[in-house]
Amino acid sequence: MIDVHAHLDAFEDVKDVIKEAKKRGVKKIVTAGYNLLSSKRSMKIANEFDGVYAVVGVHPENVEEVDKNYLEDLKSLAINKKVVGIGEIGLDYHFTTETKEKQKKMFIDQIELANNLGLPIVVHSRDAMGDTLEILKTHTPKFGGLMHCYSGSIESAKELLKLNFSFSFGGVCTFKNAKNVCAVIENLPLEKIMLETDCPYLAPVPHRGERNEPKYIPLIAEKIAELKNVSLEEVVNETTENAEKLFNLKNH
């Protein structure tokens, strides 16, 4: 299994966290940066451990902290061999809409960086699906994209499928109040689905509220198997193949 979205730089005991995950069959992890410092840390962790890869980028909530050289800085990280994408990037209007225009520009600039470097993107979109879709339609990623922790509608998911996007799901789909997310999973083809934790946040049931770790990925795989009414083995094989393909893991 592959955890396509983790924040390994949040862990003091990252070595043990990776070891525990591998013990439970989570052989590969893509760790995501959310600003320059976190992207740099993610790249270092990827370089240190087998089976760990990084995506580097600036999360929309950190739009105010970047300086004019950030794209150059990101590029110098992105050319590292273990860096497999640009992320997490996107739009987040949950806490403020005041930075909307800045967020949009930063999103577009980072999509273009990914296109120039031949890398896929990992998108975070919260309370901003309309603008997210609009940007992705006019600035479509050329090397694929992943909507992480997707919480949008089935209709938006269909639009994103046309743009060749995949979707990753984590702990939220195991929550009792997750009817919307579960309905989306039921409607998506398995070849567009991947597994994620978004750890250390959003631990799945029965660990809800605790620290999340990649070792809980099997719980997500089980839930998706149940929702799609297929075997666990099929979910494991298919989601692994999907992640290997999007991030071109065999060549990194």
CB closer to Zn ion out of 8 and 160: 8
Among 63, 4, 10, 5, smallest CA distance to 36 is for: 63
Shortest Å distance, C-beta 233 to Zn ion: 28
Quote the CA–CA distance of 224 and 232 in Å, as a whole number: 8
CB closer to Zn ion out of 61 and 198: 198
The site for Zn ion, by CB under 5 A, has a size of 1
Strand ranges of the sheet holding 83-92, from the earlier edge strand across to the other edge: 2-6, 28-32, 52-56, 83-92, 121-126, 145-148, 165-169, 193-195
CB closer to Zn ion out of 43 and 228: 43
Quote the CA–CA distance of 107 and 113 in Å, as a whole number: 10
Shortest Å distance, C-beta 95 to Zn ion: 15
Among 87, 101, 10, 90, smallest CA distance to 54 is for: 87
Site string for Zn ion, 181-220 (x = CB under 5 A): -----------------x----------------------
Quote the CA–CA distance of 41 and 134 in Å, as a whole number: 32
Point out the residue whose Cβ comes nearest to Zn ion: 198
Shortest Å distance, C-beta 199 to Zn ion: 9
Shortest Å distance, C-beta 90 to Zn ion: 10
Under the rule (CB under 5 A), what is the footprint of Zn ion? 198
